[in-house]
A and B are shown apart, each in its own frame.
Chain A
């Protein structure tokens, strides 16, 4: 009886986590420049991983292991924004230009020239 009650929380939480992971991946593939991609990945990773780890912590019977899972969730909660900040700061200091909506056609050329610069 208790396990049925627990599963009815665990399954939706995992599904929500997978949904937000998919949103993060689609954002990573669709967004035009690195800053917008970091927007998508930082937020979706935090909630997706947090939801799935919380679900597993509820599913687990051993208290210490579920405490360990909560610890991993807190680790992700703190390091995910920090990683986004580190990468975007590096992008800004190495002089990457943010994408502008009006210059939609110029953007393609700009991206290609950046590609050559950064890879050479």
Chain B
């Protein structure tokens, strides 16, 4: 708990430096004061998350940073292909869409961080949009029929498991 708060303080202080872009001592002290104020008001939100593995900030190291870059690269590819797909459909005068809603099971039941990451990645893949969740199921809106097959062919859950070293059990 204390370790998490200290890492959060350092992280927010770094953010303050990026936004201020100056290193004189007055700015440094004001930044520390503001960061402590923010922590004081928001400590309520992660008090109960002590046993949750999903708070990734707790042990930030170089290896984990590398994983985040890998994830960023994966989602960048997905975004570009999704945009090209949407652009083709929007600019086509016949408007070739056939929407449908499908219920999908998510493998990350216990890890809320990876659950969120997976759902966000689904929203950014071509022709898919996450609507709602219900336990370990999510409702996904598909823009056309062929996207249902392409989502299962992409195997995003396996890729995210590989990136973050989670084994299904």
Contacts and interface: CB of A to CB of B under 8 A. Distances in A.
Query: Is A–B contact present in the complex under a CB 8 A cutoff?
Result: yes
Interface in A33-54: 33, 35-36, 38-40, 42-44, 46-47, 50
Given A64-B21, A67-B18, A85-B119, A92 B98 contact: no
Contact of B80 (A47, A65, A89): A47
Interface size on B, as a range, is 20 to 34
Nearest to B20: A64
A93 interface: yes
B132 A27 contact: no
Interface string B1-22: 0000000000000010011010
Interface residues of A, number: 39
Nearest to B81: A43
Contact of A30 (B83, B90, B119, B127): B90
Given A36-B143, A39-B86, A47 B79 contact: yes
A35 B124 contact: no
A22 B143 CA distance: 20
Interface in A81-108: 81-82, 84-85, 88-89, 91-93, 98-101
B123 A81 contact: yes
Given A42-B129, A85-B119, A89-B132, A101 B98 contact: yes
A101 B94 CA distance: 12
Contacts of B124: 42-43, 46, 81
A98 B79 contact: no
Contacts of B19: 68
Contacts of A43: 79, 82-83, 86, 124
19 contacts: A20-B87, A26-B91, A31-B90, A31-B95, A33-B99, A35-B129, A42-B123, A43-B82, A47-B83, A50-B79, A62-B21, A68-B21, A71-B18, A82-B120, A85-B130, A88-B130, A88-B131, A89-B131, A89-B132
Interface of A: 19-20, 23, 26-27, 30-31, 33, 35-36, 38-40, 42-44, 46-47, 50, 62, 64-65, 67-68, 71, 78, 81-82, 84-85, 88-89, 91-93, 98-101
Interface of B: 15, 18-19, 21, 79-80, 82-83, 86-87, 90-91, 95, 97-101, 119-120, 123-124, 127, 129-132, 139, 141, 143
